[in-house]
Amino acid sequence: MTLALVTSLCLAGESVSAQDSPDFGDNTSRFANDGECDDPRFAGPDASSFQSRRNEGHDAEDCQAAFEDGTVFLRNTIFVTYDGVEFGTDSGRFAHDDECDDPRFRGRGMATYTQDENILADSTDCMAAFQAGTIALRTSFDEPYTFDGINFGIDSSEWANDDECDDPRFQGTGMAQFLNEENIEADASDCLFYYRNGTISLIVEIEEPYSQEGILFGIDEGPFANDGECDDPRFVGPDMSLIGGLSDAVEKDASDCLAGYEAGRIFLRRAYIAPRMVAGVNFGDDSSPYANDDECDDRRFIGDGMTRVLLTDANIMADASDCIAAWMSGELELRTPITEPLKFETITFGVDSSDFANDNECDDPRFQGLGMASPPLEQSNIEADATDCLTAYQQDRITIRNAYFSPVTYNGIDFGDDSGVWSNDGECDDRRFIGEGMTQVLLTDEHIRADASDCLAAYQEDRLELREEITRPRHYDGINFGIDTSVFANDNECDDPRFEGEAMAEGEPLDENKKADATDCLNAYQQGRVTLISQAAASGTLYDGILFGVDNGRWAEDGECDDPRFEGDGMSTTVLLDSDIRNDATDCLAAYQDGTITLIRPN
């Protein structure tokens, strides 16, 4: 035992004995009798978070009560050294809270947040945790370090000393969540600490093919080996990878799969090894990630036993157990492509000539419902996906669109039919309308009268109205939006160069569209999708030393000057408002140049 240790322990013993009868002082502090000990000589759960020297010896009743209850302690003011480690004193404000707050240490006995101000200032807590083995001094390795025959490397990783082991050669509760190979032998301090504590262990890879109970588990090879999940698609169970297994991981994830198998959390698929034949039909094996989910995922079949999700060729002959079970119970039969036009309940379903035929989704745009493919639905699929559409129709998963065949008229408005590729998507795509029920994408003429159901529903819910071309200047929010004379008016994009924002047309805006695309720009402005360019709003017409301003007034460009700074025959006969000052430039300048008005107020 070192002399420093003997001295510190003796002095600490004097400090402990002194705690039997401390001098608590008086109650002259302004914080006396507030239920907290404000004397900075004490620390502990009942000590105030904010202590000042001026309260030393002046909060007797609070401190004595807490001291006798064991919820405060006299701070250790003697510098403590133990086992060659300097622990310091108890001068920190978090001393005696049963957590080590000194950031020089690490481990589960540490406080969640530590600060440099607590270095050498939490001796009692830190020494207790150190002696209990729940903390250790932080280390940093500049040279490769080997322990227990394992080369832990150095601390060169960007994640070194973050209290998590980032070296993917290890496994356990002390590991980081995301691991990569660049941290191999590059996080020595973190990994060594948790290895010594027994919270991580070295992964032992299986390099030679391994078999048990007649099952060849193989070796550990590939990017997903030793990740805690079995990726071998021959198995099924709770410890399988979320994606269900990878075809290239067969016999290449031995450690993970063996661990899951021995724990009873994965099992060998019943039909993986040998393809199965039933009634002359080759059902294949159970290699699909969706095998053994009680639904047949093989798109060669049709019936109530089929899955309701989109089927792909990858599941053909790869879901044997599920499909055989459904077949034997009469819930499946082999699909037979329809080559002659099929008619059912007066509806012509057609044939199976579509590229998307027999994919378990109806692609014929004449129908709607849960059994439909996602839009857009091509016109070429009309009467070309008979099996899928008939099956879904008979299962009540789709219905015929009435609007597809019969144009709809409501309130005198011809809504047309549902022949558009974006019909029945919950948004109106007919550019003749305007309002919150409209789609936000660019509209073209091909959707006019071709989205009846969507547009009629939104119209009846007061979420849109029929567009009316603006033929007189439209003012809103002090801005003159003009009229709809542009060739690009009512195309759902703002073409007026005075604005900017996400709803603007692509390319450089043309001056000829200034105040000529009112409906589009006003709609986008009200939706917050365009704003007036600041310099355009601030600039104005200057003539003959008079700033005529801009045309943002409500009555701008109506042939009369509404600016109250002027008077004369060219003035409006209505009440003049100060809000029109410098906001009727075109009208006032024309009248001024004609000599029908003069300036009567300062510019």
Bigger pLDDT: 68 vs 52: 68
247 confidence band (pLDDT: 50, 70, 90): low
pLDDT-derived band of residue 582, with 50, 70 and 90 as boundaries? Answer: confident
| Diameter over CA atoms, the chain | 111
Structure tokens, 165: 């082991």
Query: What is the predicted pLDDT for the residue at 481?
Result: 85
DSSP characters for 81-125?
Answer: EETTEEEE-S-STTTTSSSB--TTEESTTB-SS--GGGTTB-HHH
11: pLDDT confidence band, cut at 50, 70 and 90? Answer: very low
* Residue 212, pLDDT score: 67
409 versus 63: the higher-pLDDT residue is 63
- pLDDT-based confidence at residue 438 (cuts at 50, 70, 90): confident
Lowest-confidence range among 279-283, 299-303, 402-406, 418-422? 402-406
Q: Residues near 468 by Cβ (< 8 Å), separated by ≥ 6?
A: none
- Place 538 in a pLDDT band, splitting at 50, 70 and 90: very low
- Pseudo-torsion of CA 132, 134, 137, 143, nearest 10°? 120
List the structure tokens of 107. Answer: 């481990």
Confidence of residue 13 (pLDDT cuts 50, 70, 90): very low
Q: Residue 484 gets which letter from DSSP?
A: S
Each residue's pLDDT tens digit, 501-536: 999 998 888 888 888 888 889 888 888 899 987 543
Give the per-residue pLDDT at 62. 93
Report the amino acid identity of residue 30.
Answer: R
Condensed to tens digits (0 to 9), the pLDDT of residues 27-47 reads: 998 889 999 999 988 888 888
Euclidean distance between CA atoms 141 and 156, whole angstroms: 8
- For residues 65 and 475, the model is more confident at 65
Give the Cα separation of 447 and 440 in Å (integer).
Answer: 14
Following DSSP, what letter does each residue of 514-563 receive, concatenated?
A: TTS-HHHHHHHHHTTS-EE-HHHHH--EEETTEEEE-S-STTTTSSSB--
Quote the CA–CA distance of 418 and 99 in Å, as a whole number: 70
Among the ranges given (91-105, 236-250, 346-360, 495-509), the one the predictor scored with the smallest mean pLDDT? 236-250
Per DSSP, which regions of 127-252 are E strands? Answer: 136-137, 145-147, 150-153, 170-172, 200-202, 210-212, 215-218, 235-236
User: Do residues 148 and 117 make contact, with C-beta atoms less than 8 angstroms apart?
Assistant: no
Alpha carbons 373 and 385: distance in angstroms, whole number: 11
Is pLDDT above 80 for 19?
Answer: no
The Cα 291–Cα 319 span in angstroms is 5
Stretch among 8-12, 155-159, 436-440, 532-536 having the lowest mean pLDDT: 8-12
Q: Which of 70-79, 226-235, 285-294, 463-472 has the lowest mean pLDDT?
A: 463-472
Q: What is the mean pLDDT of residues 558-567?
A: 91
Q: Does residue 492 contact residue 443 with C-beta atoms inside 8 Å?
A: yes
User: Which has the higher per-residue pLDDT, 1 or 64?
Assistant: 64
Distances (CA, A) of 446 to 102, 365, 429, 511: 72, 16, 10, 28
Asked whether the beta carbons of 104 and 119 are under 8 A apart, the reply is yes
Give one DSSP letter per residue of 282-328, joined into a string: EEE-S-STTTTSSSB--TTEESTTB-SSPP-GGGTTB-HHHHHHHHH
